[in-house]
Chain A
Amino acid sequence: MNPWELIIQQPLINCLIVIASVFGGNFGVSIIILTIVINLAMLPLTLSQIRSSKKMMDLQPKLAELQKKHAKDKQKLAQEQMALYKETGIKPAGCLLTFVIQLPVWIALYQSIMLAMAIAPEGLLNLSSYLYHWEAVFNALPLSRSFLGLNLAEPNFILAIFVGITQWVQQKMAQAPSTDPRQAQQSQMMLWLFPMMFTLISISFPAGLPLYWVTNSIIRIIIQYKLAGWGGLSRKPKTDEGGRDKKYVDLISSAERKSTDEVGADIVITEQQQQPSKNRYLPGKDREKHRKRK
């Protein structure tokens, strides 16, 4: 047994079997519980990932300003962006790093689920070499593959569709708006590519694997919602103006009309913006309203 199997796979497989034995040998329940436990263990990493994404989202208006301000000087733009990231404590590579750290854990969980399911006779025979010498482990096998009317050893189309839907929702929630049209296009592509890819894989694999993916996505959706709300899912659809969010369009287009470089100012307030809006706080008027209420 290699170190990966000994340190990661073997404990996970035995955990799956023990949990299943506690719940009457039900492997479906075991998959769900272990996925929840692993997610809880990874919570600090997940939280930092979501917080970083949220900060990135909040930073988009400032990034848009910078992009317009230094549209002609990419080097300056990069410097300013880095300075802004530093100032707000955002590490753009942090999200990727967190993902890279989490990846082996998800791979190990996937492998353990597939091994514990022992679909082919070879799989059952191989499983024997992973077992701890615990009575609960030996007596629990083979695990029941029946869960909520599903056969976890066979592909299930409905569960595969659920994988796609939950992954799309999760990604959409986590998606940061981008001021760069190319980047926005790429994000949009990824938003559809990954859920579709996982749906296709799920159609081909035993339903135990999609069950793990669906559980994982639902947990991520819940954490994401608790921490950052609906995120990208609640944002208004993007316009055709380079994939920008509508709420930034006015600001950007006004800036486009009058470059900041010409006036030498960091922020340009246009005539339109100087006019009072409905939501703007107006001292005199609001004081009057306040008196009337009294």
Chain B
Amino acid sequence: MNQISRKKRRLSLTGKIFAVTVLLLVIGAIGFGCVKGLTAIGWSGGVVSDDTIYLGTQEGRLVAFNLTDESRLSAEKISAGSSGGGLFGCIPAGGGCAGGAGVAIYGTPYFTDELVYIAGYNGKVYAYNKENLATRWVYPREGYLEPIVGGVVVSDGRLYFGGSDGYVYALDAETGDFLWEADTRSEDYKRDKIWATPAIADGTMYIGSTNKVFYAFNTADGSRKWVFPTEGAVTATPLVVDGTVYIGSHDRYLYALNAADGTLKWKFMAENWFWAKPLLHDGKIYAACLDGKVYVLDAATGSKLNEFDLEEPLASDPVMHDDNVIFCTREGAIYSINTAQNSLRQLAVINEGKVEINGPLAIHDGVIYIHTSDLLLRRVNAETGAILSSLVLSFGE
């Protein structure tokens, strides 16, 4: 009897030790597990050409959906760089590792008459035939550059992009041959990652860097035209219209610069970073900010005409539909601002904050296309706000 009670006591003590150990392990595993945002997942937006939407998925491939019959095509999955995702999949080096999903693609694809282009976080640029998504060329043909986060832009037969190595590149858009590269480092500025998509206008390439400087390069040879230093990293895509460059920075300012010489026209301060590309309509700038507000500014003077509080951070580039500018918050609330009436309307809420929306919106035939982090292409009617059936982006392994 005494022996049994001793055994019981010993068991209960062992049980307690076991329970405490398990509890500590669980707390440790949760607490010391992967922190949100360590893994490169990607947020490529969609681009529509001939009734087909192209976008890069989190599985690391270019996907094309025919919007008439909803048939889909996929390019070959792009391969990760030399360095993997680390033992616990927490290092985004070499191409992302969202549970081993694939190489992250951040930039929206760019298309020409024959080809579609994407850039991967693995440090490669790919060109595919529009018809069948067969690979036309890859740059670099061997090895990898540093991760490419911004998108590519094609102009006059040349493809331009910036890399995390702090260089901007120009390639022959037809063949993928290297044309020139330009270093963002100088005596005054150190080299840092370029995570922005460039804008091309009048023989000039405009691009920002995380070294807090905004650059203008000559597209002919990559020579530097001018620089504009800010107080924060520049990751937004610039908007270039009628000789003015509008660019948002992490120093909370939206700048309007003379495209010719980079001199400041005006600047406007918000409460957080400008991550999204601004939109110009009818002489007004609509600028979405990570402080959860959309600022309406006079394009000529920068004075604030209005502001709309959407209460959630905004990272996606907006789109225009008739007289409405459409925005989507990171939590999935879609709003429409009527530019004529200066009024705000919530169109829809997709997925109620369970997924993140960071990539640019796309619009075609009155339907808004939103790439969400759950491998779906959500569709919302731009007029009524009705949520339409989603397109599945996953092709599996």
Residues of A that sit less than 8 Å from B by CB: 74-75, 96, 99-100, 103-104, 107, 110-111, 114-115, 118-129, 131, 133, 138-139, 141-142, 154-155, 200-201, 203-206
B6 close to A115 (CB less than 8 A)? no
- Tell me the complex Cα distance, A168–B385, Å: 60
**Complex contacts, B36 vs chain A, CB 8 Å:** 122, 126
How many A-B contacts if CB must be within 8 Å?
112
Contact of A122 among B90, B233, B273, B358 (CB under 8 A): B358
Nearest A residue (CB) for B87: A204
20 contacts between A and B (CB under 8 A): A99-B24, A107-B27, A111-B35, A114-B35, A115-B35, A120-B37, A120-B40, A121-B43, A121-B195, A122-B43, A122-B356, A125-B290, A128-B250, A128-B313, A138-B250, A142-B250, A203-B87, A205-B86, A205-B90, A206-B90
A128 close to B272 (CB less than 8 A)? yes
- Tell me the complex Cα distance, A217–B183, Å: 41
Considering only residues 23-59 of chain B, those with a C-beta below 8 Å from chain A are 24, 27-28, 31-32, 35-41, 43
**Complex contacts, B37 vs chain A, CB 8 Å:** 115, 118-120, 122-127
A138-B250, A139-B231 given as contacts; is B275 within 8 A of A123 (CB)?
A: no
- Tell me the complex Cα distance, A119–B91, Å: 8
Tally of contact residues, B, Cβ under 8 A = 46
Contact of A139 among B35, B40, B251 (CB under 8 A): B251
- Tell me the complex Cα distance, A74–B192, Å: 67
- Tell me the complex Cα distance, A211–B20, Å: 29
The answer, yes or no, to whether B235 is at the interface (CB within 8 Å) is yes
A141 close to B40 (CB less than 8 A)? no
- Tell me the complex Cα distance, A256–B227, Å: 85
B31 close to A121 (CB less than 8 A)? no
The answer, yes or no, to whether B287 is at the interface (CB within 8 Å) is no
Considering only residues 98-149 of chain B, those with a C-beta below 8 Å from chain A are 104, 106, 149
Contact of B38 among A96, A114, A142, A154 (CB under 8 A): A114
- Tell me the complex Cα distance, A111–B27, Å: 13
Consensus secondary structure, chain B interface: loop
Nearest B residue (CB) for A122: B37
In the assembled complex, the CB of B94 is this many whole angstroms from the nearest CB of chain A, namely 11
B31 close to A103 (CB less than 8 A)? yes
The answer, yes or no, to whether B277 is at the interface (CB within 8 Å) is no
Consensus secondary structure, chain A interface: helix
Nearest A residue (CB) for B292: A129
**Complex contacts, A142 vs chain B, CB 8 Å:** 192, 210, 233, 250
Residues of B that sit less than 8 Å from A by CB: 6, 20, 24, 27-28, 31-32, 35-41, 43, 86-88, 90-93, 96, 104, 106, 149, 192, 195, 210, 231-233, 235, 250-252, 271-273, 275, 290, 313, 315, 330, 356, 358
A141 close to B233 (CB less than 8 A)? yes
Nearest B residue (CB) for A200: B87
B88 close to A139 (CB less than 8 A)? no
A123 close to B38 (CB less than 8 A)? yes
Nearest B residue (CB) for A198: B32
**Complex contacts, B290 vs chain A, CB 8 Å:** 125, 128-129
In the assembled complex, the CB of A132 is this many whole angstroms from the nearest CB of chain B, namely 11
- Tell me the complex Cα distance, A215–B88, Å: 23
A138 close to B90 (CB less than 8 A)? no
**Complex contacts, A127 vs chain B, CB 8 Å:** 37
- Tell me the complex Cα distance, A158–B251, Å: 36
**A-B CB proximity, top 5 nearest:** A107-B31, A204-B87, A123-B37, A204-B86, A126-B37
- Tell me the complex Cα distance, A129–B311, Å: 12
B90 close to A204 (CB less than 8 A)? yes
Known A74-B6, A124-B195, A138-B250; 17 more pairs at CB < 8 Å: A114-B35, A118-B37, A120-B38, A120-B39, A123-B38, A128-B250, A129-B313, A131-B272, A138-B231, A141-B232, A141-B233, A142-B192, A200-B87, A201-B32, A204-B88, A205-B90, A206-B91
A201 close to B88 (CB less than 8 A)? yes
Nearest A residue (CB) for B252: A138
